[in-house]
Structure 1
Amino acid sequence: MAENGRIREAREGYLTGDKAKIRSSHLPHRIREDLKHPERHGGAGFNLPEIILGGQDGLVNVLGVILGVAAATAETNIVLVAGLAATFAESISMGAVAYTSTIAEADYYQSEVERERYEIRQFPEGEKSEVRELYRSYGFAGKILEEIVEKITANRDIWLRVMMEQELKLQKVVRKDALPAALIVGFSSLAGSVIPLTPFFFLPIGEGIILSVTLSALTLFVIGYYKAKMTLGRKLVKNGLEMLAIGMVSALAGFLVGKLFNFN
């Protein structure tokens, strides 16, 4: 789920050292507006995890298939058929996994909501004790602790939210998020898969392998670099090289299998 503009602005201010953006993102009226719409909050902005998951997985898997087939047959048409089959199978599979996993998360979240509601209704003293111990673990005690417990448990909606977010550490996931997640992961996987495959439409096997590996390596480095820029704001080159190394090692496995079963 994409995050809201206020959180994105705060992150950008932190990463760039722009204190004006940080101050702007903490204006009371903007905070109040966000709290009215908790569903707007998400993880790293604009579905970055899903984009990286789909793109990296599609690129690495298809590159491995292409290199393996190229090493085994040295025939461009076979490489293209295998690569296209892997591209579409991978994209559909990744999208389907994103869809079903989001549905599962949403169903699990809803089942826990229903369980907590039941316990608040049927066993209020036990649930109140959980709130008390939760805030005791935060360092509150005595009269202040009891006031916090009474304030929270006086409103069942707030009580339920505290149990879901602070006791169970669950963020809201709804079924309507499943289709967007599937489309983002699926198309990201498709885009990533096309990168190592494209050279073989225009070049013979030898040159195709070289350009395919080069383009894939550059893409993996850029993905790692950009991910670090958007999340850490530092160690950009290191993260780019790590992403590149992980992807190349995975693709190398496909190449070695192809060499092992070389049919030439």
Structure 2
Amino acid sequence: MSADKVEKKYLPEFVYGAIDGTVTTFAVVAGAMGASLSSAVVLILGFANLFADGFSMAVSNYLSTKSHRELHVAQKSKCEDEDKDPKKTALATFSAFVLVGFIPLISFVLAFLFSWIEENQFKISIGLTALTFFLIGAAKGEVVGKHKLHSALETFFIGSAAAIIAFLVGYLLRAVA
């Protein structure tokens, strides 16, 4: 099996992890900003989400792939995913989740280094996240053989909906913070 085919075999896990990492991390950022929490709290919650949720997704992907493989072995049938290594699917998911999911936090990290970013850190995060939604959506379209722009817009709108919900929940609960 060629290296190109091996890489492509795990591309769906990478795309899935990247989309979920970006959506959930930005949802945490948006919720915290809606609640008017400090940048330090945004970073704490953001990084806690990034690694805990990334690990959870990786472990879930590992168990799902392993169960899928075991089911097909028990049924003595061959499926396309049977030759996927559960550890590699977990690694692809976790790597994408953490690497791409970090993007919504970049402006908050940079604000600690450059004070002039602080007043626009949420706007920068929104812009970077929107761009990421579009790029990952286009990549998803490529992987599944769908129209890239349609897939990019779909991912953007779904991600935006999650962010708006999180922001509104944070805003409505800001008095508790």
Structure 1-normalised TM-score? 0.59
Aligned residue type for 2:54: S
The one-character-per-residue Cα deviations of 1:9-53 (angstroms, maximum 9, x if unpaired) are xxxxxxxxxxxxxxxxxxxxxxxxxxxxxxx7x8x9342210111
The one-character-per-residue Cα deviations of 1:87-117 (angstroms, maximum 9, x if unpaired) are 111111111011111111111111111xxxx
The partner residue of 2:130 within 217, 226, 234 is 217
Contact 1:217 1:244 in 2 (8 A): yes
Contact 1:72 1:258 in 2 (8 A): yes
**2:16 equivalent to 1:81:** no
The partner residue of 2:54 within 69, 75, 91 is 91
**2:31 equivalent to 1:68:** yes
Aligned residue type for 1:173: E
Where do 5+ consecutive residues of structure 1 fail to align? 9-39, 114-163
Where do 5+ consecutive residues of structure 2 fail to align? 112-116
Which residue of structure 1 aligns with residue 88 of structure 2? 180
Q: CA deviation at 1:171?
A: 3.5
CA RMSD of aligned residues (A): 2.3
Q: CA deviation at 1:207?
A: 1.2
The partner residue of 2:64 within 79, 93, 101 is 101
Q: CA deviation at 1:205?
A: 5.7
**2:115 equivalent to 1:202:** no
Contact 2:15 2:139 in 1 (8 A): no
Q: CA 1:184–1:75 in 2, change beyond 3 Å: closer, same or farther?
A: same
The one-character-per-residue Cα deviations of 1:31-88 (angstroms, maximum 9, x if unpaired) are xxxxxxxxx7x8x934221011100001100110111112213311111111111111
**Residues of 2 paired with 1:211 and 1:255: CA distance?**
16
Aligned residue type for 2:108: F
Structure 2-normalised TM-score? 0.85
Between structures 1 and 2, the one with greater helix share: 2
Identity value in percent: 28
Q: CA 1:206–1:180 in 2, change beyond 3 Å: closer, same or farther?
A: same
Between structure 1 and structure 2, the one with the greater Rg is: 1
